[in-house]
Amino acid sequence: MAVLLVAAPAAATTEGPAQDTTSHVRAAFVEPHVDDARVVRIEGAGPDTAQALPDPRLFVDAVDRADPYRVHQWGLDVIGEEVLLGGERGAGITVAVVDSGVDAAHPELAGAVVDGWSVFGTDWGHDTLGHGTAVAGIIAARADDGTGMAGLADAVDIVSVKVVDPDGGAWASDVAEGILWAVDRGVDVINISLTTDVDAPVLRHAVRIAMEEGVVVVASAGNHGSDGNATMYPAAVEGVVGVAPLEESLAGTTFGSHGDWVDLSAPGTRVFTTAPGGGHTVVNGGSFAAPFVVGALAHLLSVAPHTTAGPLSPDSAIQRLVDSTVDVGRRGWDERTGAGALDLAAALVDLGPRRILGWGRAERAASLAATAIGDGRATSAVLVSDDGWADALSGTGLVGPDVPLLLAGHGGIPAATRRELSRVLPRGSEVVLLGGEQVLPQLVVDELEAGGWMPVRVSGPSRIETALAVASRPSLAESDTVLLASADGWVDAVAGGVAAARLGVPLLLTSGEVLHPAVAAHLAALQPTTIVLLGGPAALSMDLEEAVAATTGVTPTRAGGMDRRETAEAIRDLLLADAAGMTVIDGWDDDAWVDGLAASPLGLPIAIAPGPGGATIQSSGVLATRQRVVDAAS
């Protein structure tokens, strides 16, 4: 059998050698050898020509499985998964998993596995061993769907390259052929959680070609640290990103191979992931550290173009991951953990703010929804009038990481809103319209029904009554926490709306001087245990505070300051102190209510951009911590 080592349309053929027309074309003839071994003869210029070269077996880099019922994704916590925005999980990036196949029918990988190739035939979408499915789950398991687990980059396209047999082994020539097929397929990143202690030229050549074509190759550093600690390939091939496994304590594992081929380290023990047949398991091994780095890399490559850093080359993306690691071993680089532990949060922060652009209100709202929520991930949606903020302020209690807030108006559903609904919300799902027909006419209802969605109108005679109607929805009706803002302006309510969305609590409105009778009646009936007033005494008077206490028997907490900027900071500190970033809006722009409300699914506190008089955002150190900034200032 001959394997053509060239990244070209005819790559990975077994029909015979091709003419050596480039500097890296080699025809590798696979021949049987003694004891069921195989050798490779490489035809072409170079010192390897005509030599009987080894075609070693590579093996999956896993150790014994741990408790399969232990559902605890500690790995996501330590690498900073909390900074990931739902709509940016590796979109537009294609990853090849060179392994034992991937269970393409697994519910957690639904739609993620888009193509494949198998050295055994057409079975790339099946995985009897389970190793490749476990690797793919760490990278791409569907997140934010309320079930199972969360992959790091669940918007990537997975290409399954099946080279491993049911015994857990693969010939180097088969791995090489699979690598070259993946390169021809146009993948961006290749995950190889396989190792051998033989530096096989056939494998080294294939890896080199992949890198010359701009493909990043990430490989397990090995599991033989306590078993001779031989140099492991392909991780030890120059240019390959070698990843060592970490314990939960962030110490290097005793079983992990160690040496100068270790570039960085990632979680590799008790890793919860997908198993063939729709199940899950917990696994150990260097095999499962590499896909953490692959998922992180997919994030960097997909997000960078939308930040101040701009698009990244593969080499610069890898360097950012290495430079942002947490030093967990000996000071500086060490042979067990490399540069340190993967820290995706730090790498993303270093990209700078992500700016959300849009010419109109509907376009900006749609852009923010796309940043927050992945394709087909919404469970419902909220539509508000593009005419003004009156009814829109109370809608954030219905918004969340899987519920966008979008705009419509007298002219019906704008094109940007329609596109975003089609992208994010499955047909048959509920769309809540906030406000009466005077702001969202019957035309909007008709267009939603024609599109296959289920419109539900929630409204009242005024913005205050609309907020009460929202608070009476089943998801909010029994909340023991209530946020209360002035109905006379939008800034404090918008800043508090993010907290309402993230905490899943209602936001009520009242006049700033006197507690509205309908609100008083609602509070008296609900008897919440926590009431937060959004704004200082100038926004919600002391008389109103006393009326709230008298009505409920609860002394309200106030999140407020001397101006809108300080109030936004107080809301952040009181209700969203654990958030990993912020959304920056212009609190003096009459249109900025759109940005603040539409950003609610992100769950990031609002920061008011410098306004009149040159005020500055009091957020020193934000970019130096594990936080990100979304710049929604229009």
Ordered DSSP codes for 573-603:
HHH-TT-SEEEEE-TT-TTHHHHHHHTGGG-
Over the chain (634 residues), what is each successive 10-residue block's mean pLDDT? Answer: 34 29 40 51 46 65 42 50 58 94 92 94 93 94 66 89 91 93 96 92 93 96 78 93 84 75 88 89 88 92 82 90 85 84 81 74 91 86 93 88 94 96 96 95 98 96 95 92 95 92 93 96 96 96 97 96 93 88 83 89 84 38 38 51
Residue 446 annotated among the catalytic residues of the structure: no
Helix (H, G, I), strand (E, B) or coil at 173: helix
- DSSP strands (E only) in 411-521: 430-434, 454-458, 481-486, 507-510
The reported pTM is 0.71
Catalytic residue among 99, 263, 334, 402: 99
Residue 82 has what pLDDT?
A: 52
* pLDDT confidence of residue 59: 73
For residue 3, the model assigns a pLDDT of 40
Q: What is the pLDDT at residue 258?
A: 77
Q: How far is CA 34 from CA 54, 172, 324, 402, in A?
A: 12, 17, 48, 59
CA distance 517 to 17: 86
573 in catalytic set: no
Please give the Cα distance from 160 to 453 (Å, whole number). Answer: 35
Catalytic hit among 48, 126, 127, 131:
131
pLDDT at 349: 75
pLDDT attached to residue 125: 94
Choose, from 287, 302, 459, 486, the residue flagged as catalytic. 287
Q: Is 287 part of the annotated catalytic residue set?
A: yes
pLDDT value, residue 119 = 93
Q: What is the pLDDT of residue 39?
A: 52
pLDDT at site 153: 83
Burial category of 329 from C-beta neighbours within 10 Å (exposed 0-12, middle 13-18, buried 19 and up): buried
The Cα 163–Cα 182 span in angstroms is 12
Q: Which domains does the chain have, with CATH numbers?
A: 2-56 (no CATH), 58-349 (3.40.50.200), 360-631 (no CATH)
Angle between the N-to-C axes of helices 564-575 and 491-503, in degrees from 0 to 180, rounded to the nearest 10: 10
